[in-house]
């Protein structure tokens, strides 16, 4: 099928594919993908994306089996409760509901029921091709003001992530607001003509240093994609669509298998590039393909 003009998914894919990796295998030691994140230790920085309208409990259970963090998207507190009861370490991404009661109720529930963190996908507040506020399944969205965001963040002791921040300016604002981190995302092309999230990582990392956790979202199809994002400054990556067929076919085990396979690819690339752990992936191993 012909790609749409401004197709951010295709643009991001082309950017990831344009990055090549040199080998630094001579004398390398076997690496570890141990991931220390928000006070927990995981076996991988490859986490599930904030998906919705599918078997989120199966997805969370699969990530738990792989000892990976989970983010989940739209849904009510009942569904969040089922996901949390799997024992997975969950970041609940809350929609930018116009009704702030909906937002506060989910933040409160997440905190009371042991979520790892909460966040908001501000990128879904407005429609893709018009400036109107979005309406998702009959629920009205509204882009929160800075004061709104401040009140969400201050209402909880949980770390707060803003999903959809996609520039140095956005990242700096999130830091000033008191966010723990951002998810760099164009939300499946909802933002047209988007700079690939991974391409923005070095600039954002240089601007915010270690003060903000950076999670790269969008188009991660392999551990090699994850490696490139980590080399460019991401703390973690999310995987959405690439998990969905396995979830549908094999449930939690399918999700666990995909995360494990991607983590093995990541580890293979870390080994070949002499990267002993996640904190020591040298960005200079990456090359830009001649165009
Ligand atoms: C079926 C589906 C449902 C999604 N639901 C949400 C959601 O509720 N909240 C959210 O922040 N993002 C949602 N997303 C977007 C994903 O979190 C992610 O940003 C996007 O899919 C890009 O990642 P991917 O290329 O790995 O799929 C959804 C994506 C898909 C495919």
Report the nearest atom of ligand 1 relative to the CA of 185. Answer: 19
User: Which residue, by CA, sits nearest to atom 14 of ligand 1?
Assistant: 51
Is the CB of 51 inside a 6 Å radius of any atom of ligand 1?
A: yes
30 C-alpha to ligand 1 centroid (Å): 33
Q: Considering the domain boundaries, does residue 1 fall inside one?
A: no
User: Which residue is listed with tokens 């991931």?
Assistant: 35
Atom number of ligand 1 nearest to Cα 121: 11
Q: pTM of the entire structure?
A: 0.97
91 lines ligand 1 (CB under 6 A): no
pLDDT confidence of residue 194: 97
Q: Does residue 107 form part of some domain?
A: yes
pLDDT at 5 (0 to 100): 66
* Structure token digits, residue 184: 């760099």
Judge if the beta carbon of residue 92 lies within 6 A of ligand 1: no
Place of tokens 């986490």: 47
Index of the ligand 1 atom closest to the CA of residue 54: 1
Is 186 annotated as catalytic? no
**CATH number of domain containing 133:** 3.20.20.70
Would residue 165 count as lying in a domain? yes
Token duo for residue 45: 């920085």
φ, ψ of residue 248 in degrees (nearest 5): -65, -40
Tokens of 291: 């165009």
List average pLDDT for each run of 10 residues in the chain, which is 291 residues long. Answer: 76 97 98 98 98 97 98 97 98 98 98 98 95 95 98 98 98 98 97 97 97 97 98 98 98 98 98 98 94 53
Residue 207 in any domain: the answer is yes
Residue 181 lies in a domain: yes
Structure tokens at 266: 């990541």
- For ligand 1, say whether the CB of 149 is within 6 Å of any of its atoms: no
Q: What is the spatial distance between Cα 182 and Cα 120, in angstroms, rounded to a whole number?
A: 10
With contact defined as beta carbons under 8 Å apart, do 239 and 48 qualify? yes
- The pLDDT, as a whole number, for residue 180 is 98
Nearest atom (ligand 1) to Cα of 93: 11
Question: Which pLDDT value is given to residue 6?
Answer: 80
Going from the Cα of 273 to the center of ligand 1, the distance in angstroms, rounded, reads 31
Q: Is residue 291 part of a domain?
A: no
pLDDT given for residue 93 in this prediction: 98
- Both tokens of 161, joined, read 């992530």
Residue 253 lies in a domain: yes
CA of 153 to the centre of ligand 1 (A): 22
Please work out whether the CB of residue 187 comes within 6 Å of at least one atom of ligand 1. Answer: yes
Q: Is residue 119 part of a domain?
A: yes
Please report the pLDDT score of residue 291 as a whole number: 53
Per residue, the 3-state secondary structure of the chain, as one string, reads CCCCCCCHHHHHHHHHHHEEECCCCCCCCCCCCCEEECCEEECCCEEEEEECCCCHHHHHHHHHHCCCCEEECCCCHHHHHHHHCCCCCEEEEECCECCHHHHHHHHHHHHHCCCCEEEEEHHHCECCCCCCECEECCEEECCCCHHHHHHHHHCCCCCEEEECCCCHHHHHHHHHHCCCEEEECCCCCCCCCCCCHHHHHHHHHHHHCCCCEEEECCCCCCHHHHHHHHHCCCCEEEECHHHHHHHHHHHHHHHHHHHHHHHHHHHHHHHHCCCCCHHHCCHHHEEECCC
* Residue in 100, 113, 186, 187 annotated catalytic: 187
Q: Which residues contact 244 (CB under 8 A, 6 or more apart)?
A: 51, 54
Rounded to the nearest angstrom, the distance between the alpha carbon of 55 and the centre of ligand 1 is: 13
Q: What's the 51 CA to ligand 1 centre distance in angstroms?
A: 5
Q: Which domain holds residue 84?
A: 8-21+30-286
Cβ atoms of 121 and 73 within 8 Å: the answer is: yes
Number of domains in the chain: 1
Please give the pLDDT value at position 290.
78
- CA-CA-CA-CA torsion sign (146, 39, 237, 210): positive
What pLDDT was estimated at residue 170? 98
Tell me how crowded residue 9 is: count the other CB atoms within 10 A of its CB. 17
């Amino acid at each position: 099928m012909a790609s749409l003009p401004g197709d951010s998914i295709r643009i991001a894919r082309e950017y990831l594919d344009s990055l090549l990796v040199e080998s630094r295998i001579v004398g390398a030691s076997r690496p570890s993908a141990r991931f220390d994140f928000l006070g927990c230790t995981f076996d991988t920085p490859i986490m599930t994306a904030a998906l919705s309208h599918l078997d989120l409990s199966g997805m969370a259970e699969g990530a738990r089996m792989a000892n990976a963090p989970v983010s989940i998207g739209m849904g009510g507190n009942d569904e969040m409760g089922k996901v949390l009861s799997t024992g997975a370490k969950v970041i609940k991404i809350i929609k930018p509901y116009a009704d702030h009661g909906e937002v506060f109720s989910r933040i409160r529930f997440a905190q009371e029921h042991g979520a790892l963190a909460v966040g908001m996908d501000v990128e879904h507040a407005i429609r893709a091709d018009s400036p109107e506020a979005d309406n998702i399944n009959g629920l009205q969205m509204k882009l929160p003001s800075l004061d709104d965001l401040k009140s969400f963040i201050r209402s909880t002791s949980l770390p707060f992530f803003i999903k959809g921040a996609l520039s140095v300016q956005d990242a700096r604002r999130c830091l000033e607001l008191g966010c723990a981190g951002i998810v760099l995302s164009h939300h499946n092309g909802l933002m047209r003509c988007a700079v690939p999230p991974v391409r923005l990582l070095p600039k954002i990392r240089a601007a915010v240093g270690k003060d903000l956790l950076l999670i790269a979202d969008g188009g991660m199809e392999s551990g090699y994609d994850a490696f490139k994002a980590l080399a460019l400054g991401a703390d973690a990556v999310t995987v959405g669509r690439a998990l969905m067929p396995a979830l549908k076919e094999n449930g939690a085990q399918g999700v666990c298998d995909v995360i494990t396979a991607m983590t093995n690819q990541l580890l293979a690339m870390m080994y070949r590039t002499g990267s002993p752990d996640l904190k020591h992936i040298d960005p200079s191993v990456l090359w830009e393909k001649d165009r």
